[in-house]
Amino acid sequence: MSYCLNSGCPNPQNSLQTDVCQACGAKLLLRDRYRVIQTLGQGGFGATFLAIDESLPGHPNCVIKQLRPSATAPHVLDMARELFKREAETLGRIGNHPQLPRLLDYFEANQEFYLVQEYVSGSTLQQIVKRDGPLTEHGVKQFLSEILPVLEYIHTNRVIHRDIKPANIIRRDQDLKLVLIDFGAVKYQQQSQTSNSEQTAFTSYAIGTPGFAPPEQMAMRPVPASDIYALGVTCIYLLTGKSPKDLDYDPTTGELLWQKYVHISDHFAKVLENMLEVSVKQRYQTAERIFRELDLEPYLESLEKGMAKQNTGSKRKSGGYRDPDSTGGTPSSPAARAAMAIRARQKLDSTGFQTGSIRGSGLDSRPSNSSPLRNRDNSTGRGREFAGEKSKIPIRLDADSVQTYYGKGVRDFASHDLNSLSLQRANLSGANFHQANLSKINLQGAVLSNTDFGRANLNRANLRDANLVKAYMSNADLEGADLRGADLSSAYLLNANLRGANLCGANLTGAKLTEEQLAMARTNWMTVRPSGKRGIW
């Protein structure tokens, strides 16, 4: 079905083959490339649609958010335009995180505003709880261990989400990671404060969801701790299956009365109570503080024991997750990967290397020592570490050590100095080399699919015939790199430096990069374009 986005269309449903609406005559292809096929959700200020991008090979899915003001007064349109620009700028700034949707396009047409985002296939936490029932304390702790680094990342970038709830957190089918979506209500903490009247005008249209939003946010004074309150309410939903509107509250304090519906430890109950403090001053102020209070490292060890009893493909009733790879290979579920990290940590401790936590986060574009809460292995969701702990493995490794650590389950080599190493034909799939120094490294014929090279130095690296399918290489320095015959299909190369890179014979089918980038690289008639066609650019 091809869906018409004209708000006045009497019958928006059309056949997939037509390019003009049969009811109102409006064009069905937005920007001559996006075809809407169904609605995903609708509100008073806009709607969200599932679409296909007909300009790309395979016609991949994407999400189109249409900001459609209900009034046509000039000040309302200006306000809508400001909100639209704010969400686009926010996604453009923070959307490189693997657990946040990427911004693909944005434009204005006929006084309506459109954002095109990456489509995340999966189930929301709301859908999972309705299907499988509430989670146990262990399941909610596992959820927090995955989502807290994402929250810390957006807050470090001075963004307040303002609409955290189960319906806005998706368990992605592809890798079972949690993805935080819907940044339409976000507030960006500007360096210079705007006037109160201006703040009131903007936030009145994007205040969040009643019951999940704390009092200060409902009063249009959101702070980062407002997201922590909403995350606490989300935890209560995961434990009880009850929406906040179905819970009683103390009329004198405004506190939610949820304790009688759950069976959890006293310590975890106190953590949730602190997250749900009505007074913002008494509430946890940072995601890092919650992680410390929960002490999730020991929790992961108890998780490992439970994983041994799990059958292939069975549903985890406690967490609502499945692990299709429990029989071998690289585990897919966060729980299995956490257990694998524990085993690797125990094995490495017995080899005589320094104990402690692995350096490097890969959470964002900042140096690894600038974030108080770091993800020990961002690419696979293993355990977390805190600043101030000793490095577990040396920052400078030789080729044999890299492969030894990888074989023992270590995937995080972020910020490491690996220049000039010879790793020909090595299997390092899914590894994290975020901000690592890989200049002049020899990775010819290596398996590097789904590997994170974000902001890495790959200057004059040998990547000839390497498997770089779905590799993440945003902002990487590939100047002078040898990529002849490399498979870069579906790789993410936006903002990468390709000056002098040799892409002769490389396969770029479905890769994300611009013609300006490719104009700086060397290509030939064997180079496969992102469209899937061969030819010189």
**How much is the pLDDT for 453?**
92
| 122-294 is classed CATH 3.40.30.10 | no
Q: In 3D, which of 164, 65, 97, 76 has the Cα closest to residue 124? A: 164
Distance CA 150, CA 152 (A): 5
pLDDT average, residue stretch 268-276: 95
Three-state SS letters, 131-148: HHCCCCHHHHHHHHHHHH
Q: What is the pLDDT of residues 8-35, one digit of tens each?
A: 888 988 988 888 998 898 888 888 899 9
| Mean model confidence pLDDT for the chain | 78
Q: What is the pLDDT of residues 71-93, one digit of tens each?
A: 566 776 777 777 777 778 877 87
Distance CA 399, CA 420 (A): 9
**How much is the pLDDT for 465?**
94
**How much is the pLDDT for 386?**
29
- Which has the higher per-residue pLDDT, 172 or 73? 172
**How much is the pLDDT for 189?**
53
pLDDT average, residue stretch 51-72: 83
With cut-offs at 50, 70 and 90, classify the pLDDT of residue 424: very high
**How much is the pLDDT for 109?**
78
User: Given this chain, do its domains 2-118 and 122-294 carry the same CATH topology?
Assistant: no
Which residues have a Cβ under 8 Å from the Cβ of 464 and sit 6 or more positions away?
Answer: 444, 445, 482, 483, 484, 485, 486
Greatest mean pLDDT among 186-190, 197-201, 468-472, 532-536 lies in: 468-472
**How much is the pLDDT for 19?**
87
Q: Which CATH architecture has domain 2-118?
A: 2-Layer Sandwich (3.30)
Residue 124 has pLDDT above 70, yes or no: yes
Q: In 3D, which of 305, 339, 383 has the Cα closest to residue 148? A: 383
The percentage of residues in the chain with a pLDDT greater than 70, rounded to a whole number, is: 74
- Which has the higher per-residue pLDDT, 310 or 77? 77
Q: Would you say 218 and 209 are in contact if contact means Cβ atoms under 8 Å apart? A: no
Residue 330 has pLDDT above 70, yes or no: no
pLDDT average, residue stretch 186-213: 55
pLDDT average, residue stretch 120-133: 94
**How much is the pLDDT for 500?**
94
**How much is the pLDDT for 411?**
86
With cut-offs at 50, 70 and 90, classify the pLDDT of residue 58: confident
Task: Decide: pTM greater than 0.75.
Answer: no
**How much is the pLDDT for 461?**
96
Residue tagged active-site, from 163, 377, 465, 477:
163
**How much is the pLDDT for 43?**
62
Q: In 3D, which of 192, 180, 177, 186 has the Cα closest to residue 206? A: 186
**How much is the pLDDT for 205?**
47
Does 163 qualify as catalytic in the annotation? yes
pLDDT average, residue stretch 117-122: 90
pLDDT average, residue stretch 52-61: 90
Residue 198 has pLDDT above 70, yes or no: no
Q: What is the pLDDT of residues 387-404, one digit of tens each?
A: 333 345 666 789 998 998
Tell me the β-bridge partners of 492.
472, 512
Q: What is the pLDDT of residues 511-529, one digit of tens each?
A: 999 888 988 999 988 899 9
Flag the least confident range among 100-104, 225-229, 278-282, 446-450: 100-104
pLDDT average, residue stretch 170-198: 68
| Burial call 438-460: b when 16+ CB within 10 Å, e when fewer | bbbbbbbbbbbbbbbbbbbbbbb
- CA 526 to chain CA centroid, nearest Å: 34
The full set of domain ranges for the chain reads 2-118, 122-294
